[in-house]
Amino acid sequence: MNDRFPARRQFLRTLGASGALALFTRRGVFAEALELKPTASTTEGPFYPDKMPLDTDNDLLIINDAITPAVGEVSHLTGRVLTMTGQPVRNAFVEIWQVDSTASYVHTGGRQPTGHDRHFQGYGRFLTDSKGQYYFRTIKPISYTLIGIFRTAHIHVAISKNGKRVFTTQLLVKGHPDNARDGVVKRIDPKALDTVLVDFTPVAGSKIGELTANLDIVLGKTLEELEDGKLGGGVAISAVQRRNKG
Residuewise pLDDT in 10s, the chain (246 residues): 444 333 444 444 444 433 434 433 344 444 444 679 999 999 999 999 999 988 999 999 999 988 999 999 999 999 999 999 999 999 999 999 999 999 999 999 999 999 999 999 999 999 999 999 999 999 999 999 999 999 999 999 999 998 899 999 999 999 999 999 999 999 999 999 999 999 999 999 999 999 999 999 999 866 665 665 443 445 655 443 444 443
Which residues, listed in sequence order, are joined to residue 211 by a DSSP beta bridge? 75, 202
Q: Which domain holds residue 120?
A: 2-19+26-245
* Gap between the terminal Cα atoms of the chain: 45
What CATH number does the domain containing 132 carry?
Answer: 2.60.130.10
Q: Are 48 and 162 within 8 A, CB to CB?
A: no
pTM: 0.82
The single residue of 107, 111, 137, 151 carrying the catalytic annotation is 151
The single residue of 123, 134, 135, 144 carrying the catalytic annotation is 144
Total number of domains constituting the chain: 1
For residue 151, indicate whether it is catalytic. Answer: yes
Taking the C-alpha atoms of residue 191 and residue 185, their distance in angstroms, rounded to an integer, is: 12
The single residue of 105, 123, 134, 135 carrying the catalytic annotation is 105
Taking the C-alpha atoms of residue 243 and residue 231, their distance in angstroms, rounded to an integer, is: 17
For residue 144, indicate whether it is catalytic. Answer: yes
For residue 156, indicate whether it is catalytic. Answer: yes
For residue 154, indicate whether it is catalytic. Answer: yes
For residue 105, indicate whether it is catalytic. Answer: yes
